[in-house]
Amino acid sequence: MSISSVSKRVALGASLVVLSAAAHVQAEDMDTILINEAFHSLLYLPVYVAKHEGMFNDHNIDVPVVRSAGSGPAALASVLSGESQFSVHGPEHVGFAQEQGGSGKAISAVANSAPVWVLAHPELEYSSPEDLAGKTVVVGLAPGTSNTLIRRFIEDAGLTGEVTVTEVQNGSELGPVLSGRGDFAVLYQPQVEQGISQGLEIIHAFTDDYPEYAFSTINTSQNMIDNNPDLVARFVAAINDSLALIHSDADTAKAVARLEFGDLQGDVVDAAVQRMIDNNVYPESVMITEEAFTNAIEMQQFVGNIQGEMYYDDIVDASFASEVVQ
């Protein structure tokens, strides 16, 4: 073997040792965290995109799993107890927790706009809210946002008592309308696209009424903000990167959604993601605006979930979003 060959092998070996050491150091620098979501939903796609497309890793965060807690309060309770670092749900749950002595903050937008649509058969004439009179509206159980939005819509139209509101289990709103036992279905995604694929059409979009609506936010504890602000900042930056990718590369976002929701038809998933991009349900940045917060809280006050006042500065810490949204 020539001296040249020996030298090359020594150099290669040294390079591999350096690369291995660098990878080991990088792995040690990673913060491994747990995210608790209220439920597994297409609305939370920015979190899944950040996980699958490497945004979290780019910011030295490892997310082995995103766990569904079953409700917003349960997801936030996990954060406040220190079991998980971040939760995904409506910002009002932060306010409810504060009223009980918990200390948390909403730090990033994740699902904005009011992601609820009203569908009906094409032959049903509808041109204004007044056309709801004498009809049956099928909606998920109170106090869900879809239920609150349609009741507010009916009241604002002066039709209280003139519209039959039939509540069903969330996710089963289509059945009564498709079978002729209801006239209008009030839906989230992906039920909207499933309804359209079965011949229904959108007659009203609450995303038009409330283009700014803090439906879901990323939340964390005050303890995390105080003791590990660098991790919080990196997490918010990763979500902001994810939102940017969703808006610049819809095909990648749809591929992630198909992966996360493999039990749904691919074309339904693609259509749902595209509609939520087009309607700004996935916001362009992580900033929780005061308008979005106020609209969400006022809707909770309307339905009676919130009796007093909740203020933006008490519930939202916008400092981390401000750092990445210039």
Q: What is the pTM of this model?
A: 0.89
For the chain, where are the E strands, in sequence order? 31-32, 35-37, 61-62, 66-68, 86-89, 104-111, 117-120, 136-140, 164-168, 184-187, 201-205, 216-221
Residue pair 47/242 in contact (Cβ under 8 Å)? The answer is: yes
Query: At a CB cut-off of 8 Å and minimum separation 6, what does 230 contact?
Result: none
**Residue 288 pLDDT more than 80?**
yes
Domain at 117-209, CATH homologous superfamily: Periplasmic binding protein-like II (3.40.190.10)
Quote the tokens at residue 120.
């009906």
* Same-fold call for 33-113+212-324 versus 117-209: yes
- Domain 33-113+212-324 CATH assignment equals 1.10.760.10: no
For β-strands 201-205 and 216-221, DSSP reports them as unpaired
Q: What is the pLDDT of residue 303?
A: 85
pLDDT digits (tens, 9 = 90+) for 147-188: 999 999 999 999 999 999 999 999 999 999 999 999 999 999
- pLDDT at res. 293: 97
**Residue bearing tokens 């490497």:** 54
pLDDT per position as a tens digit, 56-70: 999 999 999 999 999
Asked if 235 contacts 218 with a C-beta cutoff of 8 angstroms, the reply is yes
Answer yes or no: are the C-beta atoms of 137 and 168 closer than 8 Å. Answer: no
**What is the residue-averaged pLDDT of the chain?**
92
Question: Domain map of the chain by residue range?
Answer: 33-113+212-324, 117-209
Burial state string for 227-257 with b = 16 or more CB within 10 A and e = fewer than 16: ebeebbbbbbbbbbbbbbbbeeebeebbbbb
